[in-house]
Amino acid sequence: MPAISVLDKATSHVIANLPIDDAHAVHAAANLARSAQPAWAALAVKERVRLLKLARKEMLKDKDKIQRALAQETGKVPFDVIGEMFSVCQDIGHYSRRAAKWLRPRKVGTFPLIGKKGLIYYQPYGLVGVIAPWNAPLTLAIGDALPALYAGNAVLVKPSEITPLAVKYTIDAFNRVLPPGVLQCLIGEGPTGAALVDQVDMIAVTGSSQTGRRVMERASRRLTPVLLELGGKDPMIVLSDADLERAVNAAAWGACFMTGQVCMSVERIYVEKAIATEFTRLLKAKIQAIRTGPDEPAATAQYGPFIGPKQIDIVKAHIAEALDKGARLETGGQQLPSADGSHYFAPTLLAGVDHSMKIMVEETFGPVACVMAVDDLEEAIRHANDSEFGLNASVWTRDIQRGIAIARRIQAGNVCVNDCILNAGVQGLPFGGIKQSGVGSRHGNEHGLHAFCYTQAVMVEPRRRKKEPTWFPYSVKTAERMEKLMMFLYGR
């Protein structure tokens, strides 16, 4: 049977071999899920809440196993590993406290039909598919599965073939308390994902823009609804009145957090010329202080190795092309030597960049900060919006109201003022992109739950009436009354 080999990213050693779920296995999983889903949806919301809170306890019983697998398969440092599991725990708490309220039917008026009753119900799609990436497996796979489950759906999760272990172990833990078939994990590459899209009633994907387009095209054949969170090339605008120390600290972390392999990474920094030299000098010192590499203990490392050679090759190519076109390498810019074949890269700062360079227009996905000096705010906004992406952005100024006004002019689904990236972890805020960065949003109060529901409109006539004035037979008098009503309501 074909299998996937999962590698320890710090040593390149094989840590697991998992059999691949082919199209027949996906079909069987979908049949099991569809047989389990009606009973799951029929449970009272408070009962689904109870079971999912028990599932969280089961996950935490296995936390050492899950976190060890997550660290090995992603190369993440301990802080980031724990952060992923913490995020899952938060999501369960968030939806458990609010799901019953958010899924409650909503009454609406029925004007111009007087005396009737209007209701909106939030119904589960039925079977939801989740395709997750390798850079934040738990946060993005389980994070999408949870609201779908709270809404009453059955869920099939396909984690990345590069990082399937932590997701699989988490789902195994959940399934010690969840009804059989309600939540399943599928292992595989592109063909497994394609088969999943063909089986489900709704698909949620986090990944590259290319992956999103392929999924959306395939889903369109059956008119399957999609939720897509895709790539980013996120800008940071630093104005001359910004708190430089805070902005510099944020830029260093935002560019290098999780090896820069984050769709919300700070990849483009536009700084007003009055402070650009000082900003670059301070940022260089911060980046040079970041500790990483094969010889750095996990307890003190700020980020780990790349997920693999393909990604590091993209970063190298972007840097080389930028230098050829006149960018300045302030620090870093090279792969760190490793005896065991792991892929570490030095934290890097480029200055003198512009939009003729791929590193300012294409997703780099590496620990690289790029600083471009601009004449004024208008130039910064123009460059920030000059992108096919629109996921996340940040504005830095001591004038909060001005910062909010600027944020509203940036073409992105999410913008921070004097902060970065952390907004994606706030359950009360929706998170999603525009342009090539996605379709729809997750989190965000009831919107994150309703994303996995369809709205069912119900109108009720509670009175005992033989017929309606609008039914046959029509008469001239009825039409005249309607015309008079129209002019009374709208013609004055």
Give me the active site residues, please. Answer: 229, 263
DSSP one-letter code for 438: E
Q: Quick one: which of 30, 89, 29, 82 has its CA closest to 55? A: 89
Pairwise CA distance, residues 261 & 264, whole Å: 9
Residues 230, 257, 389, CA angle at the centre, nearest 5°? 25
DSSP one-letter code for 419: -
Query: How many residues are present in the chain?
Result: 492
Pairwise CA distance, residues 84 & 464, whole Å: 57
Pairwise CA distance, residues 270 & 87, whole Å: 31
User: Which amino acid does the sequence have at 219?
Assistant: A
Rounded to 5 degrees, φ, ψ at 376 are -160, 180
State the alpha helices, DSSP H only, in 272-426: 273-288, 309-324, 377-385, 400-407
User: What is the token pair recorded at 409?
Assistant: 């002019």
SS3 for 321-365 is HHHHCCCEEEECCCEECCCCCCCEECCEEEECCCCCCHHHCCCCC
Rounded to 5 degrees, φ, ψ at 206 are -120, 125
- For 243, the enclosing helix (H) or strand (E) is none
Other beta carbons within 10 Å of 114: 7
DSSP per-residue letters across 136-183: SHIIIIIHHHHHHHHTT-EEEEE--SSS-HHHHHHHHHHTTTSPTTSE
Residues 354, 358, 364, CA angle at the centre, nearest 5°? 115
